[in-house]
A = this chain, B = another copy of it.
Amino acid sequence: MLVALCGGVGAARMLSGLVRVKAPEDITAIVNVGDDTVLHGLHISPDLDTVTYTLAGMDNRETGWGVVGESWTVMEELARLGGEDWFRLGDRDLATHLFRTGRLRGGEPLSAVTAELSRRRGIAVRLLPVTDDPLRTRVTLAEASPLGPAGTEVGFQDYFVRLRHDVAVSGIRFEGAAAARPSAGVLESLELADAIVVCPSNPVVSIGPVLAVPGVRDALVARRERVVAVSPIIAGAALKGPADRLLTELGAEASVVGVARLYAPWAGTLVVDTADAGRAGEVEAEGVRCIVAPTVMSSPERAADLARVVVDAAV
C-alpha cells in the first residue's frame, strides 16, 4: 500500500506516474484542502479537483488546472453581469462544484463527496481530503496590493489567483488547523503504508496544511524511513507557482537543501533533480538520504519513470 501526500498539479502528475507502476486501488492520496474556498456560494476544492481531473484523464495540461476542452458560457455571462470572474470556473468544472456544494449542504462530509465524485469519474485511487473540517490557508501580504496595505491578511486564492501570487508574503497560517481532525483513513493509511510519497508540491502552502492537521506530522515521524519526498524546487526555482519565493520570504532556503532541512524531521529520503546532483552531499548533511533522478514530469512516461525511482526508494 502506497500513500501520497498531495497538493495540486505537481501531485497530480506524480500520481499519474504512480498509477502506472502500482495498482491504483493500492494507492491512497491524502490531499490538501487549505486552498479550498467558497465562491458564488460554491465550495471549490482546487487540489482535489486537479488530482481528480488528472487521474480521470480530463485535465488541461496547458493550464495545469481545469478541464480540457472546457467551455466558458457561465463565466462569460457572469462577466457580462459584472460578477466576480477572477477565479475562472469552466462549465464542466462548475458541475463538480454544484455537485459538491449540494452534497455538503445536505450534511455529507467532504471525504464522502470526494469518494463519490472520484467513483463517478472512474478513479480507483483512494482520494482523501486530509480533513473534513474547515482548514483555510491565510496569507499575510508583506506589501500593498489592490486588496489592501502591507500587512493585510487574505485568503489563499486571493493571493494565488486574484493577485497571481505577484506580491511578497510575510506570513502564512492555516486557519482551523488546531481543531481539524484527520478524515477517516488518513492516519490508518499512513500507519500501514509500505511507502509514503511526498509529491513535488509547494512545501509551504500544499504540504504545509496537510502536516498542520493534528496527528499527521506525528504519523510521518513514526514512519520516517518510509517517507520519500520529491523536491518541488529544481536548481533553486519552482517549476510552477510561487514555492521558491514563499520559501525565501518565510526564511527558508529555496533549494533542495532548504527543502531537505524542512522535511528532515519526518522524511527519510529526498529525491532531487539531476540539475541538483551537485548538492546531494549538502542534502545528506541534513540527515536525509538523497536520490538524484530526472524529476520534471513533462509526460506520463517521465512521471512513471520518476514513480519507479520513488517507489524503489521506499521499499
Contacts and interface: CB of A to CB of B under 8 A. Distances in A.
Interface of A: 38-43, 71, 73-78, 80-84, 91-92, 94-99, 101-102, 104-105, 116-117, 120
Given A42-B40, A102-B40, A105-B38, A95 B71 contact: no
Contact of A81 (B91, B99, B101): B99
A98 B39 CA distance: 8
Contact of A78 (B41, B73, B98, B105): B98
A83 B105 contact: no
A42 B75 CA distance: 15
Chain A residues touching B, majority SS: helix
B77 A120 contact: no
B77 A91 contact: yes
Contact of A102 (B39, B91, B95, B101): B39
B74 A98 contact: yes
Contacts of A102: 39-41, 83-84
Contact of A91 (B40, B43, B74, B105): B74
A98 B38 CA distance: 11
- Which of A81, A91, A98, A99 has the largest count of B CB atoms less than 10 A from its CB? A98
Number of chain copies forming the complex: 2
13 contacts: A40-B42, A40-B98, A40-B101, A41-B42, A41-B43, A41-B98, A42-B101, A74-B74, A80-B120, A82-B120, A83-B95, A83-B98, A91-B91
A81 B120 contact: yes
A308 B85 CA distance: 43
A80 B92 CA distance: 10
Given A78-B99, A81-B95, A83-B102, 8 more contacts: A41-B43, A42-B101, A71-B71, A74-B95, A74-B98, A76-B95, A77-B91, A82-B116
Nearest to A71: B73
Nearest to A121: B81
A298 to B, nearest CB: 29
B94 A94 contact: yes
A157 to B, nearest CB: 14
A80 B99 CA distance: 11
Given A74-B91, A92-B74, A94-B94, A40 B99 contact: yes
A96 B92 CA distance: 17
A62 to B, nearest CB: 20
Nearest to A73: B91
A92 B94 CA distance: 12
A303 to B, nearest CB: 26
A65 B281 CA distance: 69
A80 B78 CA distance: 24
A92 B105 contact: no
Contacts of A83: 95, 98-99, 102
Given A42-B40, A120-B82, A74 B99 contact: no
